[in-house]
Amino acid sequence: MIKAILIFNNHGKPRLSKFYQRYSEDTQQQIIRETFHLVSKRDENVCNFLEGGLLIGGSDNKLIYRHYATLYFVFCVDSSESELGILDLIQVFVETLDKCFENVCELDLIFHVDKAKSYSPMAYAFPLLFISADLFLAKVHNILAEMVMGGMVLETNMNEIVTQIDAQNKLEKSETFIFQSPRQDR
Q: Domain limits of the chain?
A: 2-179
Amino acid at site 80? S
* Cα 27 from Cα 49, distance rounded (Å): 22
Nearest alpha carbon to residue 8 among 79, 77, 72? 72
For residue 58, the 8-state DSSP code is G
pLDDT in tens, the chain (186 residues): 999 999 998 999 988 899 998 989 999 999 999 999 999 998 888 889 888 766 676 678 899 999 988 889 999 999 899 999 999 999 999 999 888 877 666 666 655 434 433 333 443 443 433 444 566 677 888 899 999 999 999 999 999 999 998 898 888 778 766 665 565 555
* Domain 2-179: CATH architecture, name and number where available: 2-Layer Sandwich (3.30)
Backbone angles phi, psi at 43, to 5 degrees: -70, 155
Cα 104 from chain centroid (whole Å): 12
